[in-house]
Structure 1
Amino acid sequence: MQKILEVKNITKIYKMYKGNFDRLKEVFLKKTYHKEFVSNSNISFDLYMGETLGIIGVNGAGKSTILKIIAGVTNPTSGEILRHGRVTALLELGTGFNDELSGYENIFLNGTLIGMSEQECAQKAKEIIAFSELGDYINEPIKTYSSGMKMRLAFSIAIYSEPQVLIVDEALSVGDAHFGAKCTKALKQRKEQNMSIIYVSHDLNSLKLLCDRVLLLNHGKLIEEGKPEDVINSYYFLISKLNDEADEIKINDLSQNSFGSFDIEIQKVAILGEKSNSELISSGENATIEIYLKSLSMFENITIGIHIRDKFGQDIYGTNTYYQKINISLDEGEYLCSFKMPLNIGVGKYSLGCAVHTGESHMQKCFHWLDHAAEFEVSGVEGNIFIGLCRLEPTITVLKKEDLNYEYTKNQKLS
């Protein structure tokens, strides 16, 4: 595979001063009046042509800094970036825009800043305006735009600049669902045309859907890279560790998809259809999820939860005993927890995950998180056929207009 970007041993250290006077004293007195903050530490990775690379990490992990260095916005303290094509970045909203100029004028300003010629901007202006769906607002000053409108224009310019590498940092989180879906579709199309993408988002489902590979940063260091679902599970573990003051949470030596304190352990998980008595279940069929637990001591206010993921690793449903307002206390011993429900989801293959913790989520005290605890397949539909993942069972009525007017008049009189 052809490399389009090489990140080699990047370190970025910021000097932190109490005030500007300390900067002057350091220059003239030749003494140190600053503290160092290491934002990135010896980070190396490659990006290949046509690849979408995700980057995740908790706040302060160094994600934005490495993106700015790749985009050329800031320089590294040490290391080097080798770019084998045009790099365009969607970082902070409004970057590269002049608030006093119109949206149309900013197409030329912003386009020039990201490497487009004036001729390219003129040739693609109509397509950019059409994609942004700004209409007549394109002639209004940028200062009158909402954050969503700015995102529309910035993304439209970036996608039509035809970069070899596009960097997207949380930009798609601003704006409406319609335009977000349109952007995602555009990214997929450009990827098929061999554009490479670096994508940073807190929307983990979108990372699973778009990315071929994901990097996990923590305290400025690259601590893991690999398949999206595996790295995202490590991210869940990292979040759990943030609230683990007693240092109890650990990863299971036998499975990367399993972590916790293991004071309560998930020993076995099974899902069975009521009629099929197997993991091959019809849509609409009642199913039972059985979770076998072992508690090492007495615990109160325990939460037991499940999540279902589709073949792309996206969460399509999740619930737990906290949301269902069921209070659970366990003594030392073994238990069976059952979730019974009609499986109203579409045909396809799914995986099931489980967790035991306190409070609303495993980010509090996590006893055991187990992903891919079981797999099952939905094949065939009980009752009416439907399209998609959710079976909603609507009530449908059709009335003639005069009947509708009659019903309205009658209800008005009754009220």
Structure 2
Amino acid sequence: MTARVQNGLPVLEVQRLSKRFKVYNRTADRLFEGLFGKARHRVHVALEDVSFSLGQGEAIGVLGQNGAGKSTLLKLVSGVLMPDAGTIARRGRIAGLLELGTGFDGRLSGRENIAVNARLIGMTSAEIEERFEAIVAFSELAGFIDAPLRTYSSGMIMRLGFAVAIHADPVCFIVDEALAVGDARFQQKCLKRIREFRDSGGSILYVSHDINSVKLLCDRAILLSDGRIAFDGLPDEAAQIYYRLIAGIDDEAPHTDESTPDSYGALRTRIRNVVLSNRFGPAMRFASGEEITIELECESSQTTQLSVGILIRDRFGQDVFGTNTALLRKEAQFAAGTSVCCRFSLPLNFAPGKYTVTVALHSDDTHVHDCQHWWDAAAAFEIAGFSDEPFSGLCYVPVRFDQYPVRDFAEPTLQEP
């Protein structure tokens, strides 16, 4: 097994990394430029002056909109691309799963591709032979391992690639959005193995649009915007800035309100206060299953119709439940110079624990369009104990149990949705 880095140095150090690509409108322009030496291209800056380090046992998530430079960064770190400027210091074996099919040959069998791909990421012949059966078992492709890769589905290719990479015993594991291709069960299997790798002291560089998985898996998050690092810090903070980016909020514009920290938006209509109550009045502690109200005190300087939303998160920052008036097919009207109270009533069918409530005002079913006010963790509450029958897991679902003779058992049938 490959030894972990023991000298305390980062397993990965990136200093002032830059990468540019020439973009041609037509294939003929490339030929014309080569023959006559006249530029017929434009330059796309994929990354510019990017610096960070990844410590041993640390997991860093990489967030950003499409085209922000996430995949380019991972290709540079893994050695698939060479930088135009800057340096990358790697200490130990780095393995990863980038774009589907990277390093694979469709003409070769799965067995042959394991050998080729494993050597590409630095495994020796002895290591490949020792771990071959484990790789095949994890990929669940034993019945297809001698078939040509061109006959594999995209999900099967992802399985094979992940299985090879995770069995290379790297000091750093890199994973891109390719995991999204697999089925839900195999995704859970991969994420469990990634967590085990992290817990054993491995380092992770993880790119995903799934904010929840980044919060759950990573210690830090880097937010890329237009090829530059816009933020490097805690995943929760990175997520809030990412939400601002996708909502089109300009941080340089006066879109924050000191009276409501952790909030942003155009603020022509805003939320002034959030109150949680049960049948006895305002409270911060409730029982699982108890009916509560979430009241939003709003004021507006415009006459408009907006969507009002709530989002409940657990103590890990994971989204537990969210809804808004657009999804509920309700209308929320606001008049200039007036204040109104918007109320949501719901049972707290969640497991005991601590939670936060994020609230929002926007013009569509998400806050991406015309975000008037997004207030993160505007209120907090705790669920302590059960008001009805207890359950295990994250949330309560009404269940009915029946028992009857086997002769009455009927096989389930598929129905059209």
* TM bracket (short chain): over 0.9
Shift in alpha-carbon separation, 1:277–1:259, aligned structure 2, 3 A: closer
Alignment partner for residue 313 of structure 2, among 309, 313, 321? Answer: 309
Partners of 1:58 and 1:218 within 8 A in 2: yes
* Count of aligned residue pairs for this structure pair: 401
Aligned: 1:375 with 2:380: yes
SS at match of 1:214: strand
> What is the CA–CA distance in structure 2 between the aligned matches of 1:128 and 1:187, rounded to whole Å?
15
Aligned: 1:94 with 2:101: yes
Instruction: Give the structure 2 partner of residue 257 of structure 1.
Output: 262
Aligned: 1:284 with 2:289: yes
Aligned: 1:213 with 2:220: yes
Instruction: Give the structure 2 partner of residue 321 of structure 1.
Output: 325
> What is the CA–CA distance in structure 2 between the aligned matches of 1:363 and 1:252, rounded to whole Å?
19
Aligned: 1:65 with 2:89: no
Provide, for residues 343-383 of structure 1, a one-character-per-residue CA deviation record: whole Å limited to 9, x for no partner: 11111110110000111111111100001100000010011
The alignment's TM-score, normalised by the length of structure 2, stands at 0.92
List 4+ stretches of structure 1 deviating above 6 A.
none
Alignment partner for residue 271 of structure 2, among 255, 266, 270? Answer: 266
Aligned: 1:144 with 2:151: yes
Instruction: Give the structure 2 partner of residue 413 of structure 1.
Output: none
Q: What is the one-letter code of the residue matched to 2:188?
A: A
SS at match of 1:291: strand
SS at match of 2:13: strand
Q: How far did 1:140 drift?
A: 1.6
Over aligned residue pairs, what C-alpha RMSD do you find?
1.8
Shift in alpha-carbon separation, 1:270–1:157, aligned structure 2, 3 A: same
Partners of 1:272 and 1:281 within 8 A in 2: no
Q: What is the one-letter code of the residue matched to 2:321?
A: Y
Partners of 1:230 and 1:257 within 8 A in 2: no
> What is the CA–CA distance in structure 2 between the aligned matches of 1:239 and 1:252, rounded to whole Å?
20
Q: How far did 1:251 drift?
A: 3.8
Shift in alpha-carbon separation, 1:389–1:276, aligned structure 2, 3 A: farther
Provide, for residues 271-312 of structure 1, a one-character-per-residue CA deviation record: whole Å limited to 9, x for no partner: 123357411000011111111111112112x10000000111
Q: How far did 1:174 drift?
A: 1.0
SS at match of 1:352: strand
Q: What is the one-letter code of the residue matched to 1:294?
A: E
Shift in alpha-carbon separation, 1:124–1:276, aligned structure 2, 3 A: farther
Gaps of 5+ in 1: 409-415
SS at match of 1:250: coil
Instruction: Give the structure 2 partner of residue 389 of structure 1.
Output: 394
Shift in alpha-carbon separation, 1:167–1:253, aligned structure 2, 3 A: farther
> What is the CA–CA distance in structure 1 between the aligned matches of 2:107 and 2:28, rounded to whole Å?
34
The alignment's TM-score, normalised by the length of structure 1, stands at 0.92
Which stretch has the larger CA shift, 146-155 or 256-265? 256-265
SS at match of 2:247: helix
Shift in alpha-carbon separation, 1:116–1:296, aligned structure 2, 3 A: same
Q: How far did 1:172 drift?
A: 1.4
Gaps of 5+ in 2: 1-7, 411-417
> What is the CA–CA distance in structure 2 between the aligned matches of 1:175 and 1:354, rounded to whole Å?
33
> What is the CA–CA distance in structure 2 between the aligned matches of 1:61 and 1:220, rounded to whole Å?
5
Q: How far did 1:315 drift?
A: 0.3
Partners of 1:273 and 1:280 within 8 A in 2: no
Once the two structures are aligned, what percentage of the paired residues are identical? 41
Q: How far did 1:36 drift?
A: 1.3
SS at match of 2:128: helix
Provide, for residues 18-38 of structure 1, a one-character-per-residue CA deviation record: whole Å limited to 9, x for no partner: 345544544554443322111
After superposition, residues 154-165 of structure 1 pair within 5 angstroms as: 154-165=161-172
Instruction: Give the structure 2 partner of residue 412 of structure 1.
Output: none
Aligned: 1:185 with 2:192: yes
> What is the CA–CA distance in structure 2 between the aligned matches of 1:290 and 1:105, rounded to whole Å?
62
Provide, for residues 114-166 of structure 1, a one-character-per-residue CA deviation record: whole Å limited to 9, x for no partner: 11112111100011111111231122221111111111111010000011111
SS at match of 1:366: coil
Q: What is the one-letter code of the residue matched to 1:177?
A: A
SS at match of 1:110: helix
Provide, for residues 67-117 of structure 1, a one-character-per-residue CA deviation record: whole Å limited to 9, x for no partner: 111111111111010111111121110111111222112111110111111
> What is the CA–CA distance in structure 2 between the aligned matches of 1:164 and 1:256, rounded to whole Å?
39
Aligned: 1:14 with 2:21: yes
SS at match of 1:234: helix
Partners of 1:234 and 1:256 within 8 A in 2: no
Instruction: Give the structure 2 partner of residue 167 of structure 1.
Output: 174
> What is the CA–CA distance in structure 1 between the aligned matches of 2:188 and 2:268, rounded to whole Å?
42
Aligned: 1:35 with 2:42: yes
Partners of 1:353 and 1:374 within 8 A in 2: yes
Q: What is the one-letter code of the residue matched to 2:331?
A: N
Provide, for residues 374-397 of structure 1, a one-character-per-residue CA deviation record: whole Å limited to 9, x for no partner: 000001001111001111120110
> What is the CA–CA distance in structure 1 between the aligned matches of 2:220 and 2:300, rounded to whole Å?
37
Instruction: Give the structure 2 partner of residue 130 of structure 1.
Output: 137
Provide, for residues 198-256 of structure 1, a one-character-per-residue CA deviation record: whole Å limited to 9, x for no partner: 100111111111011001111111111111111011000011117x8xx9773446777
Partners of 1:53 and 1:214 within 8 A in 2: yes
Alignment partner for residue 347 of structure 1, among 345, 352, 355? Answer: 352
Q: How far did 1:17 drift?
A: 2.8
Instruction: Give the structure 2 partner of residue 356 of structure 1.
Output: 361
> What is the CA–CA distance in structure 2 between the aligned matches of 1:213 and 1:381, rounded to whole Å?
35
Alignment partner for residue 110 of structure 2, among 74, 94, 103? Answer: 103
Which stretch has the larger CA shift, 133-142 or 226-235? 133-142
